[in-house]
Amino acid sequence: MPCTTVLVGKNASNDRSTMIARTDDGFFDVKKLIVVNPKDQPRTYKTVLSHLEIALPDDPMRYTACPSVDPKNGTWAATGINAANVGMTATETITSNPRVLAADPLVTYKKAKSRREKDVPGGIGEEDIVVLVLPYIRTAREGVLRLGALLEQYGTYESNGIAFNDENEVWWLETIGGHHWMARRVPDDVCVIAPNQFGMDAFDLDDAFGEKKTCLCSADLREFIAENRLDLNQGGKFNPRDIFGSHTDVDHIYNTPRAWFMGRYLTPFSHRWDGPDAEFTPESDNIPWCLVPDRKIAVEDVKYMLSSHYQGTPYNPYSGIDSGKRGMYRSIGINRTGVTSVCQIREGVPEALKGLEWICFGPTTFDALLPVYPCVEKMPAYLANVSTDVSTENFYWGSRLVAALADPHFPACVQAVTRYQNAVMTEGRRIVLEYDRKIGETGDLTLAAEANEALCAMAKEQTTSVLNAVVREATARMKDGYNLADN
């Protein structure tokens, strides 16, 4: 599914935490945040879309997940943090090219055409990956190795990027065709920006086939490249993006502009992003995969980037001035987003509290990011008890309503929405600081559940307040309004 990913190394963040974040831009999927305890994890996993059965280990850990409320197309767990404080987000749909896909075709489900034939299962995909990997890994590197083995064994029916983080490392894996893959450890001092394209623009093959310190890949990747004459690079350079990725006109409308906006935000001084002498434009194919930010990055910065609608540029769809460029590029904040998460693994807090999961439901431009502790047996009803029916009694639908009402009246509603987002972030941080201290002093981990209830009570109060405001504004601007003194 089309998504946008941001990864933050520990030396690039303000508090030396690692962060992996992604907008899950589905088809208006209704999502919820739950805890999956070991007794509830299946021992045999059955995919819905590809009709594949996979035996799972018998020692799963507790983990959080953001599955689809309607299970008709599968779980789509999206993101989570496990009991070992390993975060995962899956997946970022990425691009490829015909040369790669012909050499290693995607593994798609084939339904039998007659009674004499049998169905042929497909590979694994976004529907499955979190459930197959996250409960069984204790480091980010282990996540790469487990997923890589699954890809080599079962294949995949789509091209994807997947992120893992623990307290010290962030790893990014990209699939290559049906069975191949490569992964890099994100340098500690950078932020990665990934907008639906094969992103890695550098890779150390010698390390991947040697010490494996910062690079990992499928066992025959070198042979795969050579035998299929995939290398397009000149002068001995090895750029995976040129070999495995795409450079299309569609990319220049849908993908590269998002990387441009995020890069522009991260490095406004060290690179030129605007004007006739810009190093990078919204349609540049060479925007770096990772950048050292001009200042340290906090969760608020990640939310801002993932809420982008090209504010401050001629491409802003909400601009009152039509420059002829308004709305020409695909925004990061988009109406069909189901859930956005930031999996943050922190230092300087008790071991059990290192994971902090930030959740935003619906379109990020309008909705708030709420932190919760994942080290609990269950999530509050405000996050977990979601149905496919609209309701103000849960965070998902409350967030959707705010966005749907505010969008047509952006100038009138933007101040109320901004106050709402800041209030949830501020109060959320305050409550987390309070309970970090309480749990650290008492050692009572059951207080994490109490903290989550307090966080959700706050979020419900703030969401109700902003709903009151945007309903009033939207009602006042209805087209059937009429006053006796109207001319």
pLDDT in the model for residue 329:
97
Instruction: Give the chain's mean pLDDT.
Output: 96
Q: What is the pLDDT of residues 270-301, one digit of tens each?
A: 999 999 999 999 999 999 999 999 999 999 99
Which residues 6+ apart lie within 8 Å of 475 measured at CB?
A: none
Are 253 and 396 members of one domain?
Answer: no
- CB 287, CB 257: distance < 8 Å: no
Q: What is the pLDDT of residues 457-471, one digit of tens each?
A: 999 999 999 999 999
* Residue 484 pLDDT > 90: no
99-114 average pLDDT score: 96
Answer whether residue 371 is part of any domain. Answer: no
Structure tokens of 175?
A: 């699939």
Q: What is the DSSP pairing of strand 215-217 with strand 18-25?
A: unpaired
pLDDT in the model for residue 27:
87
pLDDT in the model for residue 486:
61
pTM, two decimals, is 0.97
Q: What domain range includes position 33?
A: 3-365
SS3 breakdown of the chain: % helix, strand, coil, rounded to 5? 35, 20, 50
Catalytic positions are 3
First to last CA, the chain: 49
Answer whether residue 53 is part of any domain. Answer: yes
Q: What is the pLDDT of residues 6-21, one digit of tens each?
A: 999 999 999 999 999 9
| Cis check: omega of the bond before 91, within 30 degrees of 0 | yes
Q: What is the pLDDT of residues 319-330, one digit of tens each?
A: 988 889 999 999
pLDDT in the model for residue 487:
56
Answer whether residue 373 is part of any domain. Answer: no
Are 390 and 361 members of one domain?
Answer: no
Are 304 and 348 members of one domain?
Answer: yes
* Residue 236 pLDDT > 90: no
Could you say which DSSP state residue 40 is in? Answer: G
Element containing residue 411 per DSSP (H, E): helix 410-442
Q: What is the pLDDT of residues 188-209, one digit of tens each?
A: 999 999 999 999 999 999 999 9
Domain boundary among 334, 365, 396: 365
Answer whether residue 182 is part of any domain. Answer: yes
Which residues 6+ apart lie within 8 Å of 310 measured at CB?
A: 257, 261, 316, 317, 329, 331
Answer whether residue 380 is part of any domain. Answer: no
Are 329 and 236 members of one domain?
Answer: yes
Are 276 and 210 members of one domain?
Answer: yes
Are 255 and 146 members of one domain?
Answer: yes
pLDDT in the model for residue 381:
98
Half-sphere exposure of 221 (CA within 13 A, CB side): 25
Are 313 and 389 members of one domain?
Answer: no
Are 226 and 359 members of one domain?
Answer: yes
Are 276 and 129 members of one domain?
Answer: yes
| CATH code, domain carrying 16 | 3.60.60
Q: What is the pLDDT of residues 83-93, one digit of tens each?
A: 999 999 999 99
Number of domain units in the chain: 2
Q: What is the pLDDT of residues 144-158, one digit of tens each?
A: 999 999 999 999 999
